Structure 1
Amino acid sequence: MAEKDLADRTALVTGSTSGIGEATAKQLAGHGAHVIVAGRRQELGDGVVAAIRAAGGKADYVRAELGDAASARELARRALAISGGQVDILVNNAGTAVFGPTAETLEEGWDTTFNTNLKGHFFLVGELAPKMAARGKGVIVNTSTMVGQFAAPGMAVYGATKAALNLLTKSWAAEFGPAGVRVNAVSPGTTRTQKVVGIMGDGLDELGKQAPLGYVADADEIANAIVFLTTDKASYITGAILNVDGGRTAV
């Protein structure tokens, strides 16, 4: 049973209706946090909330597109209303991707990927981090990716958004750290989620073998690292990009 070390905190997790976000939301609830599940698909969000409540946790769902400043501000407004005016933990996990050669990349795919992976996060932090700073504490964790740190053919747009998110992580750590707000990122390697399996198919296991540990992570292994960074056990960690990739970026 998880230690209830987040019992007095509210956590907003974007993109938490499936995959890494869902695993993170459930783990945070297991640590006692009131979790606000945010995502686009109502039926999936309701399912995550129901599972958390059935396990004795506290959760609510907010539908959010999170592709522009307006949607980010609306999500912040609704999360603050649900939580009684205080979000202690923000996990920026919502994300999308466009893959393929540069010459075949459409502007629509570029815009959607950059808006979802960067713009939404940027303006959500702009709404919530100052409120954390005013209280003198708060935690933000961004979900990045290993291909934000090294080149991979066909992943230029996706990798560029995550490389930018890594720099934003450090920038926000510098900006809000003096007021007691910690900002870090987790950089997952190959992870078995429904979405990734749908894209990679049988190639997923082969990709996992490229890491020194030689296998594909499950979502809970990534969520373990995210949740750790939200707890007081990580109290002196900020501005870090924590690689959770089976050693892939080490070789």
Structure 2
Amino acid sequence: MRKFILLALLTISFTAATQESVLLRLNYNQGDNYITSIELEQNMGEQGGMSMTMKMNSNVNSVDDELIMLESKIKSIAMNMNQGGMVMDYDSNKSSEELDQMGQMMKSQFDPILKATIYNSVDRYGNVLELKVEPTLPGMEQFTGSQNAINFPDEAVSVGSSWVSEADNQGMKIVTKYTVTSISDGMIYLDVSGDVSGIGVGTIIGKSTVEISSGIQTNATIEMTISAQGIEMNMVTSSTMKKV
């Protein structure tokens, strides 16, 4: 009898665990500070490639039931680029004297980016409702989309659940599917897949981890393979986000 009861309790516990559901929302608090670190590796075959690292600090300026206001600054950028045999190196932590001529030219382009302030208004689902950069800088939007970079569904999710988000980026439509693979220790783990269409055609694969309590994407690795104008490009982006 005791064995039967124990078996029944174990069965109930297992069933409850497998059916655990989570409602994902952004739950920032006013005054919170976060740092986002990004590593990018881009390979374009004979055309060359690029590696880049970037760090961004974000402050939560205000929070209400619907909106979260963020203020961010890019703190550092390092880049190594090879285009048609021409190698270019830049590191924002180096002085002009430590950079070669090409690095100094890149420094003049990146210095305004490092001085700019990014203001984001996002909702609880992770959707960016408004984005403003002061002072206004052309092309700055490519540096501003990685603070959370994931949109949550209306309903609670459990293992096996999936949802789809769509975005337009520089003439390409990106459709991304997130599938819950496991939920444990306050984290939800996702498989990422998707397709790219428009001026470029390709696929997306990757993995992501989201902290349930805050809704932040603590880490993600995404690989995109794109064909555009006869050029094949493979791009792997790894990111982490943590409270400081």
| TM-score, scaled to structure 2 | 0.29
Higher share in strand: 2
Computing the radius of gyration over CA atoms, which structure comes out larger, 1 or 2?
A: 2
| TM-score, scaled to structure 1 | 0.28
